[in-house]
Amino acid sequence: MTFSIYSFSMAVLWSSIFISLLCFCRRTRSLVVCFGVWPLVCLIVCALLRCFIPLEMLSFTRVVTGIDLINTVDYFLTSPVDGLTVMPIQILGILWGLGTLFFLVRFLRTYGRFRRLLSSFVPVEEEDEPFAEAQEAASRLHIPKFTIYVTNVVQSPAVTGFFHPIVLFPAYPYSSEDFSNALEHEFTHWKNHDIWVKFLVELLRDAFWWNPLVYLLKHDLNQTLELKCDLTIASKRELEDRVSYLRTMEKTICFADKKDALDFSMFAVAELAHNKEKNLLQRADAILNYEHKPKRVTLAMAVTSIIMAALMAFFLFFCGSAVL
């Protein structure tokens, strides 16, 4: 295995291609249902490993030769600047590293402020609402430990916490049924490991802050996570209960439109309901028209996901290198 600028460049190129494909697929509900967020997680892990360990697998890599543009770019990047010993590739590397460091430090500082804010809240006690509904929802999803806060700093119920769920509830006049629906939604997010997915996407954004496609991927992420969560819940409910779930979403939108709140989207999954009409209609359609899939369809989706992951890894690790 050898280091190569071309190997690195091709890794960035293939990562960008797969990001574009994932963003396109997210706009089709059936594809989100089939594949969820695991292709996204696979892409993030492969992209980070490939770009920061840009080693050519000489036994496998197919070599592209004799391209004048590649020769020109290579000469420019690896030729010292007049009067200096530094090369443009080194300058670009320093700028990239400084940008990544800036975004990582900003993320850590913001996360520190968020944790300090959480520590200032008073958790809901066992005798308070909605602790009983939370205990029931947690029991259904086999969650042994949770914490709930009711606070005015959020617009919509949200969940955070990497190792046990911390649910933030706005001080809205929810009914017992609304609490139950919202809690199942937030706990399902946590069971789906959506907090970890958002964290990985944040790392990808911080590492590739100069790539506009990464911002597009991050922008599309919330809707993908919400759809997957909605469909997980819809799979366990009859139509009447799904309508009740949608009513809770509708109430949350009406309440949220009347208040301002802090933005916790970097550290929490916080879109039980959002007033973006197109996204909301997509979610409502997915919930109301959910159909249980036969086991053979589920098996076919699993096999397809494995093939997609293998192709992604193949193109990222074993294709696209070049020599002069």
- State pLDDT tens for residues 177-198: 999 999 999 999 999 888 888 8
For the chain, the first-to-last Cα distance in angstroms comes to 17
Order the strands of the 158-160 sheet from edge to edge: 147-151, 166-170, 158-160
Alpha-carbon span 86 to 228, nearest angstrom: 49
pLDDT in tens, 207-237: 888 888 888 778 777 778 888 888 889 888 8
Name the average pLDDT for the chain.
76
Q: What is the dihedral of CA 244, 249, 252, 256, to 10 degrees?
A: -160
Instruction: Give the rounded distance of the alpha carbon of 55 from its chain centre.
Output: 27
**Looking at per-residue confidence, does 175 or 269 come out higher?**
175
Percentage of residues of the chain with pLDDT beyond 70? 61
- CA–CA–CA angle 212, 217, 220 (5° rounding): 130
What is the 3-state secondary structure of 16-37? HHHHHHHHHHHCCHHHHHHHCC
Q: Are 134 and 154 in contact (CB under 8 A)?
A: no
Instruction: Give the model's confidence band at 322: pLDDT under 50 very low, under 70 low, under 90 confident, else very high.
Output: very low
How far, CA to CA in Å, does 261 sit from each of 181, 217, 248? 22, 24, 19
**Looking at per-residue confidence, does 51 or 109 come out higher?**
109
pLDDT in tens, 126-150: 877 788 888 888 898 899 889 999 8
pLDDT in tens, 17-59: 777 776 666 655 555 555 556 666 666 666 666 666 655 555 5
How far, CA to CA in Å, does 219 sit from each of 157, 202, 211, 222, 307? 20, 11, 13, 7, 26
Amino acid, res. 50:
R
How does 29-40 read in b/e, with b if 16+ C-beta sit within 10 Å? eeebbbbbbebb
How does 127-148 read in b/e, with b if 16+ C-beta sit within 10 Å? eeebbebbeebbeeeebeebbb
Instruction: Give the model's confidence band at 243: pLDDT under 50 very low, under 70 low, under 90 confident, else very high.
Output: very high
* The predicted structure's pLDDT at residue 262: 61
- Under DSSP, the state recorded for 176 is H
Instruction: Give the model's confidence band at 285: pLDDT under 50 very low, under 70 low, under 90 confident, else very high.
Output: confident
- Is residue 282 scored above 60 in pLDDT? yes
Instruction: Give the model's confidence band at 323: pLDDT under 50 very low, under 70 low, under 90 confident, else very high.
Output: very low
